[in-house]
Structure 1
Amino acid sequence: MDNRIERAKEYHRSGYNCSQAVACAYCDLVGIQEPIIHQMMEGYGLGMGCMEGTCGALSGAIAIASLKISQELPADGNQRAAVYKAARTIIQGFKEKNQSVICKELKGIETGKVLRDCRGCVEDAATLLEKTVFQTEKK
């Protein structure tokens, strides 16, 4: 697999929001065209639009994890549990590294202490996505 983490960071550098950068870097691996993922993830950037919510990079990673693990409707309990487990693993890993999953906390909006910049969040979320969901596809 080529370096999706670098691709995600490049997407972010080129103007994609954090969620778009992560999700678009992996969209071909889940069979979704990039323009669709790009549109779908638009509202998840900037902590779901206003920095109050979950980091957009994490939202992008979890969207891809869901698309990769979930198969079709209706989802059975095992499939749903597998998606939730992957999401929990990604979130926990991100929080352990960065002390928070909330955009404004990561950016230090109220404290003045930046825990992680956006590009770092994109890198961390993509790394955790690869480790959690795509580890068997790595060479």
Structure 2
Amino acid sequence: MKEIEEKAIHSFYNGMNCAQSVLTAYADHLNFDPGFALSIASGFGGGMGKLQKTCGAVTGSFMALGIYNSQKHFENIEARNATNEMIQKFTVDFKALHGSLDCKALLDCDFKTEEGENRFKNMDLKKNVCSKCISDSIKLVEELIKV
């Protein structure tokens, strides 16, 4: 578990967005192409396209759960149902830890304003909020898939 978390945090501080860092951290464990995952998750950082909707660490986790279940269950409907159950559990647990899945609420700033961008930098929210969301997301996924 610690290895996946460390990979995700390292990636996040070295150019990947939050969704990319979570999803690609599972590439070795779930046996998928990290380059393709990097492309798929490219638009999910900053709350999906920097719109500050669902947190990228969360959406990256949802994608990892989908891959996990697609490998575990032969039928698409079974995989989809298992993924939905895990996403629902993840959502409850993430909200219990952070109060919201919404990037804007988590960060308490608006990326569309200069004030919000400055707040993000000055309060070091990348470290103080985003990194914690990534770490917690990894831990919640690990609990669900029992790595």
TM-score above 0.5: yes
RMSD: 2.3
Residue in 2 aligned with 1:81?
81
How many residues were matched structurally? 133
Take 2:27 and 2:51, find their aligned partners in 1: how far apart are those partners? 24
* Equivalent AA in structure 1 for residue 138 of structure 2: A
| Cα offset, 1:52, TM superposition | 3.2
Deviations 1:47-95 (A, max 9, x none): 001233100000011101000112478612x332211011111111111
* Equivalent AA in structure 2 for residue 22 of structure 1: V
Taking structure 2 as the reference length, what is the TM-score of the superposition?
0.80
Which stretches of structure 1, 4 residues or longer, exceed 3 Å deviation after superposition?
A: 71-74, 110-114
1:1-139 alignment, distance < 5 Å: 3-71=3-71, 75-76=76-77, 78-109=78-109, 117-133=129-145, 135=146, 137=147
Unaligned runs of 5+ in 2: 111-115
| Cα offset, 1:29, TM superposition | 2.3
Take 2:74 and 2:143, find their aligned partners in 1: how far apart are those partners? 26
Taking structure 1 as the reference length, what is the TM-score of the superposition?
0.85
| Cα offset, 1:31, TM superposition | 2.3
* Percentage of pairs with the same residue: 27
Take 1:22 and 1:31, find their aligned partners in 2: how far apart are those partners? 14
**Quick check: 2:18–2:130 contact (8 Å CA) kept in 1?**
yes
| Cα offset, 1:6, TM superposition | 1.4
**Structure 2 residue matching 1:42: 3-state secondary structure:** helix
**Quick check: 1:51–1:102 contact (8 Å CA) kept in 2?**
no
* Equivalent AA in structure 1 for residue 88 of structure 2: R
Unaligned runs of 5+ in 1: none
